[in-house]
Chains A and B, each alone.
Chain A
Amino acid sequence: MIRPALRRVALAALAVFTLALAPATASAAPKKSIWGPVAVDGVSQFPIYDDLGVNLFQLHVDWRSVAPTQPANPTDPADPAYRWPADLDLATAEGIRFGIDVLVLAMRTPPWANGDKGPQVPPTDPQAYAQFLQALATRYPTIHHFMVWGEPIRATNYAVTATEQRNYYVKKGNAKGTLKAFNARQRREAQGYAQLVDASYGRLKALSAANLIIGGNTTTSGSVDPFNWTRFMRLRSGKPPRMDLFGHNPFGTRGPDLRKPQLLVGTADFSDLDVFWPWVRKYQSRVGRNSKLKLFVSEYTAPTDVASFEFPYHVTRPLQATWLRDAWTITKQQKLYGLGWIGLYDLPVRADGQESRTGLIDAKGVRKPAYAAYKSLR
């Protein structure tokens, strides 16, 4: 009589133990994200994204093109100054049809917003950018992911004063491996970016609590290093800007593996995320701000076959697939918000004959091993 009762108790204990372990392994799955065309020759690419199991499609919106002239009512998407791109209309419609969320990255300042200083120079008033995002979010209420600028640590994208290229390499006056901190000008530039992020957060959250604001948006290395950028990306008050996700694009010449040592001071590729993320949290998740901040790898890829005009390296097709799987393993292990692959197709050959084969599908329409690898990600 005692033994069956004991067995039931033991089984119940085992079940409780198993359930107790479950949250560690079965928390919210990371987003499978991708960059790519909305349509090719008028044909929607969303069936392909659906086949791949994508659940977050990323899209660039050119503020300069959408608002070439100053809108009289900048928060009103119906203002006649706005020229909303057909791609965005189609992406949101197809997103609804296939159950794929859409993320927009908005950048490039129109002339009227910064005194015609160029697309990489932020607006004189950060609210001008935030108002644009508010109009966008109002027009497309199903979009809930908003990325504030892309890779602002690169001078081609954002007006940052470049640190001497290898300043943060050990050999160049940093014998102890220390980073030279931003100078006053660079700090002001990072502060200007922080204001864009915070202003966007205020307006987008007021529209919908479901809206997620993605700030930082650093990459492995740039005109300035991602560590200093993260440290000095703060408001005049000293507080970090409000955001939900910190974006990082950890391209690199090494396969993703957290056991590898940091490659160089100031740089953060995929294998360095265990160094970079604590740093981000230290500076961006503090003083009552961003307590639930998560890391989002918006862009990751590895070019194949031939020299790339984007990256100083290329890999074999099988290795591209391996790196993608390894990146996903880390994404899951470390509970990142998601992993974005850029992109679906190899880039078109440029006029100078150079190319960059970063896609899951080559120019002939052949699916690389990375296609199946992406599809199998769970």
Chain B
Amino acid sequence: MAAFSHRLLAPVLLGAALLLTASAPAGALAQEEGVTLDPGDPAAKEYSLPHAEARREASGSAGAPTQQGSADAELFGEGVSKDGEAKASGDGSSASGAADGTDASANPDASATTASAPAPGDDEVEAGGFSSTTVLLGGAALALLAAAGGGFTLRALRGPDQ
């Protein structure tokens, strides 16, 4: 059993290392290689789409690209965050009641206010699980378990007549 554990440990560690590499946030916000931003008045285009430089300008960061989970947090609209952050911080305490249809926006004459939507940490948003990292980690863990379990089973079944 000890020998089996050691043999299993190596691929598990390798898999974990690969997963960590794969799920690392894409830190570099510099425009990707192969993309050319075209100068000129954006209004002349059908679409005025933001790009990494505009993001840095908007956030007041003139230097290095921002990393997810640091200054990026303030770049999400209130109540809007990546799934992982929502799970870490969202208890729905900032909810304005929109989920039950009672928020001010139901009144078309309501004055403009700053959007204060419920954090997506509530049940409605959490159901559906749209986190790629979660899916990736879960799938990889299942695959590792299946492989280990299958190997163990086959090994256990291999008899002296084989």
Contact = CB atoms under 8 A, between A and B. Distances in A.
Interface residues of A, number: 84
B37 A313 contact: yes
Contacts of A220: 47, 49-50
A181 B118 CA distance: 14
A231 B52 contact: no
What is the interface of chain A mostly: helix, strand, loop, or mixed?
loop
A184 B38 contact: no
Contact of A265 (B25, B46, B77): B77
A360 B128 CA distance: 33
A311 B46 contact: yes
Interface stretch (B2-10, B11-19, B57-65): B57-65
B109 A307 contact: no
Given A231-B117, A253-B37, A266-B77, A274 B47 contact: no
Give the contact-size bracket for chain B.
35 or more
B23 A259 contact: yes
A282 B52 contact: no
A74 to B, nearest CB: 28
Interface stretch (A38-46, A55-63, A121-129, A172-180): A172-180
B110 interface: yes
A201 B58 CA distance: 40
A310 B124 contact: no
A277 interface: yes
Given A259-B23, A275-B82, A281-B125, A315 B49 contact: no
B108 A188 contact: yes
A314 B14 CA distance: 38
A311 B57 contact: no
B157 A10 contact: yes
A318 B48 contact: no
B55 A264 contact: yes
Nearest to A168: B77
5 contacts: A10-B153, A238-B102, A259-B132, A261-B82, A313-B51
